Structure 1
């Protein structure tokens, strides 16, 4: 018999790849250390925040701006409601914000949520089963999930260099400078000539191609000062859609790997 509340190990992977077979309405929630699966009739309120072990899914554990109990998700009527009980806003992919003290119903299928801190954003993945399964065909009424964007090998390598601090899960990550990316590319492909201008052109090309469907990738969309915002937004999009993943650090050939995030959250009795 399938249990109504289950832990999901970190190795379960991103929900963006689809959900395993589950009754319609089953909630999946994944943080960096793992997550949980809750049946729609479990009568279970799921807590998330940085205060492990007092939450069911830990997120932002090393960021003091994230509340110890930052939010909760509960079944209300025929849907799942997200309640922001922390101080930082929670952002939906289309830039809609749920402020502290506010609530909203979660959409079906896959939704990446971001707890928006002063210098960092923490990803929390939500999936609500609709009947489609991993590797299966979606039904016509199912909402479309975020795509994985196509990158050629050179674009992928340049973008992994640019975003390696994010992929390593460093605190308050920032994109590498053009000079640093060019230096990395010269190390990785020494038979070619890599300059700041060349790597900037490759990144700008990817950003322009995605900007028709992804907000926040054009200069005119960002109020000054611009800073690293365009590249930060691009990296965030590539991470959310799992176009770039921690395993891509292997392309750097220097033994790079993501920082350990500790143990799996426990269910409180």
Structure 2
């Protein structure tokens, strides 16, 4: 939507009445669950549904609460649905300023992307204090996901280093992952790969192990 738009951007279950459908087949999602509005040269999000919106860092936005301003860059908004489902609305506010150093060629190689998803999974979950998954642990998970990939801690390090080499020299692993998520090079739906891995017979649950370690 252009900066001068006057009409609000609505989202929710009713595809005929909202700008962006979210959770169309989930009755727990309200017909009109939230609104993105332009005020004072900024975009704001306001909740209008029966279930609160979840913002990054587990912040909840309830119906009737004051709208929240959106920062420039990428931001996911989550709606908790029925039977444990969670719907995500991905918002990217382009305010004319770069949100992260761009990857030189603009595209990640497949092996780089896979390694970064595993190493940066807590960043993709928008945890309050994300941590980089140790390369040894990442190699084990990558082997379960891609048995023919020849993954070792050294190859994981090489994948991360190959991307970091295309960015400013001072960019560390945490800065790299923060920038890739903020600029939507990596996005939360990428975590579906890890869900598939965790659901495999005999596979370990990796979903909460980056917190506090």
- TM-score, length basis structure 1: 0.40
Asked which structure has the greater RCO (Cα within 8 Å, sep 6+), the reply is 1
**TM-score, normalised relative to structure 2:** 0.49
